[in-house]
Amino acid sequence: MAISFKNVGYKQYEIRRAETVEKSLIPIGIKTPLNFGQNGDGFYEMNYTVADQIHDNLKNLLQTNHGERIGRYFYGANLLPVVVEYTNKEDFDSEATIRINTAVSDWMPFIILEDFVSRPIYDNNKNIQKIGIVVTYSVPEANISNKAIEIVLFVI
């Protein structure tokens, strides 16, 4: 007499083992900002998909200024000097897009930049304290399309 495995149950300990196997994907990189790992993540929280790792790396590239990365002086979009000299939106937008495009083409050439939007962020007073930048991008090789990233730069 043959028994079909379709309707056979699982023992309780095997169900728990199967759940942990499904969660134990191979990590691709460390998620930033650094946080301690939880639920089997390891010492730090990790990125488990290529899309999350590319998003994290692009965010770090946009927020890094020249001279902040040891051994790679020209790494980053170097947006701080543009923010410090913020006089009008048109000049800021044109210079920021040039710097972002240069950094991405140098360090992450597989990313296709699509849109750029900047806006001043006002707090309780009328003085500009922050500038928000939203960059939309695609990575055809990784099947990532129209993904947006937002960074906030503080005006000094």
Residue ranges of E strands in 4-101: 29-30, 46-47
Q: Is the model's pLDDT at 87 over the cut of 80?
A: no
DSSP 88-122: -HHHHHHHHHHHHHHHHHHH-TT-EEEEEEEEEEE
Instruction: Name the β-bridge partners of 151.
Output: 133
**pLDDT score of 41:** 64
- What residues form DSSP beta bridges with 20? none
Residue 89: pLDDT band (50, 70, 90) is confident
Evaluate if residue 1 carries a pLDDT over 80: no
pTM (predicted TM-score): 0.75
Position 43 scores a pLDDT of: 78
What pLDDT shows up at residue 4? 46
User: Ramachandran region of residue 100, left (φ > 0), alpha (ψ -120 to 50) or beta?
Assistant: alpha
Report d(CA 118, CA 39) in Å as an integer: 37
- Top pLDDT among 43 and 10 is at 43
Question: 3 pLDDT exceeds 70?
Answer: no
Decide: 155 and 128 in contact? Cβ < 8 Å.
yes
The fraction of the chain above a pLDDT of 70, given in percent, is 79
